[in-house]
Amino acid sequence: MKTLSVKLPDALDAKLTAIAQQRGTSKSEVVREALQVLLVRKRSFRKASALALAKDLAGCVAGPGDLSVNKDYLKDYGR
């Protein structure tokens, strides 16, 4: 296993220490778990489509489904 030194602000170190004590584990173990979660999440975002990332927003706006088929909506387009 590789060793990594990290400098943390006092407030972050205090939070890390509290979580480690609460879990009864080392700070290193908490950091390893957090990194694993972060790296897995980042990998899944890269593979997701724009629709998948904004699925909670898709279809949330009321209005005509497709403005391109109604000539009235395009009347002043480009002016």
pLDDT tens digits, one per residue of 33-67: 999 988 887 666 566 778 877 888 877 777 766 66
* Angstrom distance (rounded) from CA 15 to CA 68: 53
Those residues whose C-beta lies under 8 Å from the C-beta of residue 64, and which sit 6 or more positions away, are 70, 73
* Angstrom distance (rounded) from CA 58 to CA 65: 12
Is the CB of residue 64 less than 8 Å from the CB of residue 70? Answer: yes
Question: Is pTM beyond 0.75 here?
Answer: no
Residue labelled with tokens 């979660």: 37
